[in-house]
Amino acid sequence: MTLDVRLFPCLSDNYGFLIRDADTGRVAAVDAPDPDAILADLEASGWGRLDMILNTHWHPDHTAGNERLKAETGCEIVGPEEVRRAAPLDRVVAGGDVVELGATRFEVTDAPGHTLGHVVYRSQADRAAFVGDVLFALGCGRLFEGTPEQMWTSLQILAAWPDETVVWCAHEYTASNARFALSLDDSAAMQAHAEAIFAARERGQPTVPTTIAVEKRLNPFLRARDVQEFAARRAAKDAFRR
């Protein structure tokens, strides 16, 4: 079994993802930030079909394309109930469910905090996870709906995944996140990692995906000692302007 992943920038700082189960050729979009960008990448991929959208949460920069992609491709839209606040949804999923894309099995995990119904999708066999706006490279999502306790608990679940898990985050926020991380930790390891990120961004290259191993080592939100320190760091990042 193999999962092919295509990542492409859309809107101002989102990533769109098209994924393909190589055994069966079934194709899904993870979230639907921009239907034009997704249809253009689908054309470029040569994959020839869109079977499914996997929404992570209801925010418009993740669901705006649901209606048009369904109208143009007939795809099934899968996601948490909260998606209905913003866009059409065919099949409701929640933590503990499994979504099959051909031979690829995605386990659904509830990860509230950024929104209350946010879910993440992980294929253990492919060591790949799509985490929406829960975990970013060196960062985490803002607490728009949930409490620090909820987000902290969600991040702990992700941190317990195997180190080699490849984490596909939904936004390119890494340079800003790296400046914040450096304000807390100016060790040689953090400086080297941040320099690599700044250089990649100057070349116009994405810094996504990351891995659980890297994030456990360097992400200031995963490195918080407890929920109080996590909450303080989240508040400090919200006010951080650099």
CA distances 193 to 15, 48, 131, 224, Å, are 21, 38, 22, 19
Q: How many residues can be counted in the chain? A: 242
Distance CA 42, CA 51 (A): 12
Q: Is 34 in the site for Fe ion (CB under 5 A)?
A: no
Q: Judge whether 178 and 202 are in contact, CB under 8 Å.
A: no
Q: Which is nearer to Fe ion, 172 or 215 (CB)?
A: 172
Q: Is 133 in the site for Zn ion (CB under 5 A)?
A: yes
**For the residues of 40-64, what is the DSSP string, one character each?**
HHHHHHT-----EEE-----HHHHT
Select from 42-50, 73-81, 132-140, 216-224 the region that touches Zn ion (CB under 5 A).
Answer: 132-140
Select from 80-88, 127-135, 211-219, 228-236 the region that touches Fe ion (CB under 5 A).
Answer: 127-135
Select from 116-124, 133-141, 193-201, 226-234 the region that touches Fe ion (CB under 5 A).
Answer: 133-141
Count of residues that interact with Fe ion, criterion CB under 5 A: 2
Interface positions, 29-58, toward Zn ion (CB under 5 A): none
Contacts with 239 (C-beta within 8 Å, 6 or more apart), sequence order: none
- The least CB distance from residue 73 to Fe ion, in Å, is 22
- The least CB distance from residue 56 to Fe ion, in Å, is 9
Helix and strand counts by DSSP (H, E) for the chain: 8, 14
Torsion of CA 69, 62, 25, 6, to 10 degrees: 120
Q: Is 82 in the site for Zn ion (CB under 5 A)?
A: no
Q: Which is nearer to Fe ion, 51 or 133 (CB)?
A: 133
Q: Is 237 in the site for Zn ion (CB under 5 A)?
A: no
Residues 58-87 vs Fe ion: string with x where CB under 5 A?
Answer: ---x--------------------------
Options 59, 171, 193, 234; binder of Zn ion; rule CB under 5 A: 59
- Respond yes or no on whether the N-terminal peptide bond of residue 33 is cis (omega within 30° of 0): no
Q: Which is nearer to Fe ion, 61 or 126 (CB)?
A: 61
Give which of Zn ion, Fe ion, none residue 172 binds (C-beta under 5 to 8 Å, depending on kind): none
Q: Judge whether 207 and 137 are in contact, CB under 8 Å.
A: yes
**Binding-site ranges for Fe ion (CB under 5 A):** 61, 133
